[in-house]
Homo-oligomer: A and B are copies of this chain.
Amino acid sequence: MAWLYRPRRGDAALESTELKKAGLKATLPRLKILDILENSNQRHMSAEDVYKALLDLGEEVGFATVYRVLTQFEAAGLVIRHNFEGGHAVFELERGHHHDHIVCVQCGRVEEFYDQIIEDRQRAVVASKGYEINDHALVIYGNCTKIDCPYRSRG
Chain A contacts with B in 109-152, Cβ cutoff 8 A: 111, 113, 115, 117-118, 121-122, 125-126, 129-146
In contact, A133 and B142 (Cβ under 8 angstroms): yes
Q: Are A126 and B142 in contact (CB under 8 A)?
A: yes
Collect the chain B residues with CB atoms within 8 Å of residue A146's CB. 130
Contacting residues, chain B, for A104 (C-beta < 8 A): 131
Chain B residue contacts of A111, Cβ below 8 A: 129, 131
Once the chains are docked, how many angstroms separate the CA of A142 from the CA of B135?
6
Q: Would you call A134 and B130 a contact (CB within 8 A)?
A: no
Q: Which residues of B contact A137 (CB under 8 A)?
A: 85, 137-139, 141
Contact bitstring A38-77, B, C-beta under 8 A = 1, else 0 = 0000000000000000000000000000000000000000
Does A24 reach chain B (CB closer than 8 Å)? no
Question: Contact size class for A?
Answer: 20 to 34
Q: Name the residue on B nearest A113 (C-beta).
A: B125
The reply to whether A134 and B138 contact each other, CB–CB distance below 8 Å, is no
- Contacts beyond the supplied A118-B125, A135-B140: 12 A-B pairs with Cβ under 8 Å: A85-B137, A102-B131, A118-B121, A121-B121, A122-B138, A130-B145, A131-B144, A133-B140, A136-B139, A136-B140, A136-B141, A137-B138
27 pairs, A vs B, C-beta closer than 8 Å: A83-B83, A102-B125, A102-B126, A102-B129, A102-B131, A105-B134, A105-B135, A113-B125, A113-B129, A117-B121, A118-B121, A121-B121, A125-B140, A126-B140, A131-B140, A131-B143, A131-B145, A132-B144, A133-B140, A133-B141, A135-B140, A136-B139, A136-B140, A136-B141, A137-B139, A137-B141, A138-B138
